[in-house]
A and B are shown apart, each in its own frame.
Chain A
């Protein structure tokens, strides 16, 4: 019963993990023979400014994406949790981008973000404001991608928060009403503590998703302008599959995975302490 799984595990998980340990200490372009280089990959890695730029960009992405996503998802979930009609329709509309390929979303948003012809800049100029270089300004391009990613994923978190909100017992709110609590106080003292597990889940899920950021900059900007949107995954992809530096790309992947696990553990610790 479990033997197909074990075989698969051995070949596609256990072996790759072990093999990546070996690869890290070699230089290999996959065609010629492997050359042992000791720790040189890591020496190069720590001097590789572009890689750290890529990690920095990815962290910038997360810093914008996660709070924005939680705020928007909570707001929409709160609205859906009221006594409303057409709840199923609204929920389905918010969720739609979640099921659509990121490739489609990126192609469409590339047009929305267009400098001269894009919808967003047209609205801005229509309001008498000046155009924004959504994808051409190095300071704004990554936030633009984070905004788009939030738009794409937020529907999933709306649904998760909605489940969380519906799990808060009604009598908590009734008791607070008797005590004369305001809407905001009820949110801070009842809702937030009750949905803390959901918030943690959302943080972890969007962190893992954000660390995998790849296809959006790949299509939209190719990592530019001025390397401002090159994500860690995009950089690893380029090292591995454009330049065929297999040993180096494996080292990058390993180092990056360690950062990911570290970040998730820190998040868990922080949230537990709260």
Chain B
């Protein structure tokens, strides 16, 4: 009995520790500026003043659309291209297949710090600096996605593919009409992982995007927080942070099981 009590106290203390900062952030972003310092979770009144002030200062709506556009495009691209490679590596026979597989494994071990500067120069030379292309194209292929699709496709019965071939399906049709509908878990996993990592990415946008209209949301919020444009108005800063977190919070509260599973499998792959 005593042991149970200690266990549940520990578990609850842990949960509070992880949840409290976010609850405080949202509550403080809705509180009047002079009450934020009091750290009360329930302010005397709820107000959207901090949010209105922020919208006045930065084009956060535009940043939201930019982030959404970039994240959706990259996710779609990764699903298509990675599943194509995954299919080829698991189901097609061609020369150099094993070599490509080893190259993929090798590129996974390559620290991104090597390619960061040359990739930026490439973007400048292509004339892609300050365009959506800079944010999308370098991310269109995911080695992790390839490996996941490859593994998932290997478990799909060959009969299914043979039957489709006899019906005269081309390889692309087999992939998208036969394999995709049978690989929903893999699509969900790769989709969530890609979307989350692109949505939260901030270093690369800081490097390749300098015009405000094209900035992604984390980038804009980060620059807002360091740039002094929040004019030391804490509520405004917190409102921008809350707005950045809310879409993920909402998605997470509905689909947390899928988020956790996806991210755990990505860890287990390494």
Report, nearest first, the 7 A-B pairs whose CB atoms are least far apart.
A16-B118, A1-B88, A16-B115, A93-B15, A257-B111, A19-B118, A107-B241
Q: How large, as a class, is the contact surface on chain B?
A: 35 or more
B107–A9 touching, CB < 8 Å: yes
| A215 CA to B7 CA, complexed, in Å | 35
Q: Which of A137-145, A170-178, A186-194, A234-242 contacts B (4 or more CB under 8 A)?
A: A234-242
B264–A160 touching, CB < 8 Å: yes
Contact of A5 among B7, B39, B110, B146 (CB under 8 A): B146
| A228 CA to B21 CA, complexed, in Å | 25
A15–B238 touching, CB < 8 Å: no
B113–A253 touching, CB < 8 Å: yes
Task: Name B's interface SS.
Answer: helix
Contact of A90 among B11, B242, B259 (CB under 8 A): B11
Determine the chain B residues whose CB is within 8 A of the CB of A15 once the complex forms: 118, 122
Extra A-B contacts (11), CB below 8 Å, given A84-B11, A222-B226: A1-B87, A2-B89, A5-B141, A8-B140, A16-B118, A84-B7, A107-B238, A110-B225, A163-B264, A163-B268, A237-B203
**Which residue on chain A has the smallest CB distance to residue B17?**
A151
Closest chain-B Cβ to A238's Cβ sits at a distance in Å of: 12
B14–A93 touching, CB < 8 Å: yes
Closest chain-B Cβ to A109's Cβ sits at a distance in Å of: 7
**B222 sits at the interface (CB 8 A):** yes
**A68 sits at the interface (CB 8 A):** no
Answer whether A97 and B88 are a contact pair too, CB < 8 Å, given A103-B241, A159-B260, A237-B203.
no
Between A and B, 24 residue pairs with Cβ closer than 8 Å are A4-B84, A9-B107, A12-B138, A15-B122, A16-B115, A16-B118, A16-B122, A17-B110, A23-B118, A79-B11, A93-B14, A101-B244, A104-B245, A107-B225, A119-B24, A157-B267, A212-B113, A212-B203, A219-B222, A219-B226, A236-B117, A241-B206, A256-B113, A257-B114
**Which residue on chain A has the smallest CB distance to residue B266?**
A156
B238–A111 touching, CB < 8 Å: yes
**A20 sits at the interface (CB 8 A):** yes
| A160 CA to B266 CA, complexed, in Å | 10
B118–A101 touching, CB < 8 Å: no
A156–B202 touching, CB < 8 Å: no
**A63 sits at the interface (CB 8 A):** no
A89–B15 touching, CB < 8 Å: yes
Determine the chain B residues whose CB is within 8 A of the CB of A241 once the complex forms: 120, 206-207
A119–B39 touching, CB < 8 Å: yes
Contact of B200 among A79, A94, A101, A117 (CB under 8 A): A101
Determine the chain B residues whose CB is within 8 A of the CB of A163 once the complex forms: 264, 268
Closest chain-B Cβ to A89's Cβ sits at a distance in Å of: 7
Answer whether A257 and B113 are a contact pair too, CB < 8 Å, given A76-B14, A107-B237.
yes
**A108 sits at the interface (CB 8 A):** yes
Closest chain-A Cβ to B83's Cβ sits at a distance in Å of: 10
Answer whether A253 and B268 are a contact pair too, CB < 8 Å, given A92-B260, A159-B263.
no
What is the 8 Å Cβ interface bit string for chain A, positions 85-105, against chain B (1 contact, 0 not)?
010111111111111111111
The residues in A between 220 and 258 inclusive whose CB is less than 8 angstroms from any CB of B are: 222, 233, 236-237, 240-241, 246, 249-250, 253-254, 256-257
Determine the chain A residues whose CB is within 8 A of the CB of B270 once the complex forms: 201, 204-205
What is the 8 Å Cβ interface bit string for chain B, positions 101-137, against chain A (1 contact, 0 not)?
0010001011111111111111010000000000001
**A214 sits at the interface (CB 8 A):** yes
Determine the chain A residues whose CB is within 8 A of the CB of B137 once the complex forms: 12
